[in-house]
């Protein structure tokens, strides 16, 4: 039996949405996440799988991250949801 743990947060930054998307993509790749969806306002990334979970290998534990990037004048809003199951 496994459970799901989630974390949601929102940040507003003084940067263009294009710059925010670039930084999010770079950070996700540095953390070992694979980008699965790369759209103008949405980035999804994942890592690991059920095998890593069953063997309790930290770097292979299943993680899914979803980023929503919206332009708001000179600000960008970033909504992130991270789940491990």
Q: What is the pLDDT of residues 28-57, one digit of tens each?
A: 999 888 999 999 888 988 887 655 555 665
C-alpha span between 47 and 29 (Å, rounded): 10
Domain ranges of the chain: 5-84
CB 32 within 8 A of CB 47: yes
- Alpha-carbon torsion 61, 51, 37, 6, what sign? negative
Of 58-62, 63-67, 71-75, the least confident? 71-75
* Total residue count of the chain as it appears in this document: 85
Where does 5-84 sit in CATH, by number? 3.30.310.80
C-alpha span between 77 and 17 (Å, rounded): 8
Q: What is the pTM of this model?
A: 0.70
């Amino acid at each position: 039996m496994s459970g799901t743990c989630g974390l949601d947060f929102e940040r507003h930054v003084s940067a263009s949405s294009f710059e925010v998307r670039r930084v999010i993509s770079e950070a996700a790749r540095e953390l070992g996440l694979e980008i699965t969806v790369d759209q103008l306002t949405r980035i999804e990334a994942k890592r690991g799988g059920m095998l890593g979970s069953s063997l309790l290998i930290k770097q292979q534990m299943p993680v899914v991250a979803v980023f929503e990037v919206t332009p708001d004048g000179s600000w960008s809003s970033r909504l992130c949801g991270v789940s491990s199951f």
